[in-house]
Amino acid sequence: MTVSTTTNPGDSQFGADSKASNILHQQVLGSRRFSNYWWATVVSIGATGFLLAGISSYSKINLIPFANPTELLFIPQGIAIGFYGVAGLLLASYLWLVVILDIGGGYNEFNKETGQVRIFRWGFPGKNRRIELNFPIQDVQAVRLEIKEGLNPRRALYLRAKGRRNVPLTRVGQPMSLAQLENEGVKLARFLGVALEGL
């Protein structure tokens, strides 16, 4: 999550007497992470190789220059390899679709000028393609840190608002470092003038 703060045109960015910003805008990284590009590429290459090997064993024409899958029996080896290739290409298509659509990406905007909090995320195509939450800034009661260690660590920042479930503010996937999470939480709690819970 990267944070960019928008300042008013007349405000000085230097000096102790500069006015505080009225808008806090946080970009949230979605599925366009390096790891997703990496796995989509690896699965695509591997699945293509398996599918070509399966086709080669059936047609007895070598489609892979660095191996000779024509020597494989089509039943059972060639058909199994071809099946794995098709399954891998379906998985790769899903991974590329998620990356292209930037599922989970968006932003958090806290605007003191309008008195509104706006949380926006991209979802899957259809009714929930654009996921948007808007509510008054005075409904925010606290910023909450959730830290769970172990095999499946979870480090997340939530917004606790009146009459709502906890609203997640951080990206899904690879957890942020503790120092970065705490800094983001402190900065947001200070900006909103609310308590920081979970430390």
Spatial separation of the C-alpha atoms in residues 19 and 157, rounded to whole Å = 27
* Cβ atoms 72, 53 nearer than 8 A: yes
Position 156: which residue type? A
Least confident window among 5-9, 22-26, 45-49, 185-189:
5-9
Spatial separation of the C-alpha atoms in residues 179 and 26, rounded to whole Å = 17
* Cβ atoms 28, 184 nearer than 8 A: no
Q: What are phi and psi of 56, to 5 degrees?
A: -65, -40
pLDDT exceeds 60 at position 8: no
pLDDT score of 94:
98
Position 166: which residue type? N
Q: In the CATH hierarchy, which fold is given to the domain comprising 2-8+21-30+103-197?
A: PH-domain like (2.30.29)
Least confident window among 14-23, 111-120, 158-167:
14-23
pLDDT exceeds 80 at position 49: yes
What residue segments make up the domains of the chain, in order of their start?
A: 2-8+21-30+103-197, 35-101
pLDDT exceeds 50 at position 25: yes
Mean pLDDT over each residue of the chain, to the nearest integer:
86
What is residue 176's DSSP assignment?
P
The pLDDT tens digits of the residues spanning 53-109 come to 999 999 999 999 888 888 889 989 999 999 999 999 999 999 999 999 999 999 999
> Averaged over 131-137, what is the pLDDT?
94
Q: Which residues pair with 146 in a beta bridge?
A: 156
Spatial separation of the C-alpha atoms in residues 43 and 13, rounded to whole Å = 48
Confidence of residue 150 (pLDDT cuts 50, 70, 90): confident
> Averaged over 132-142, what is the pLDDT?
93
> Averaged over 8-37, what is the pLDDT?
67
pLDDT exceeds 80 at position 10: no
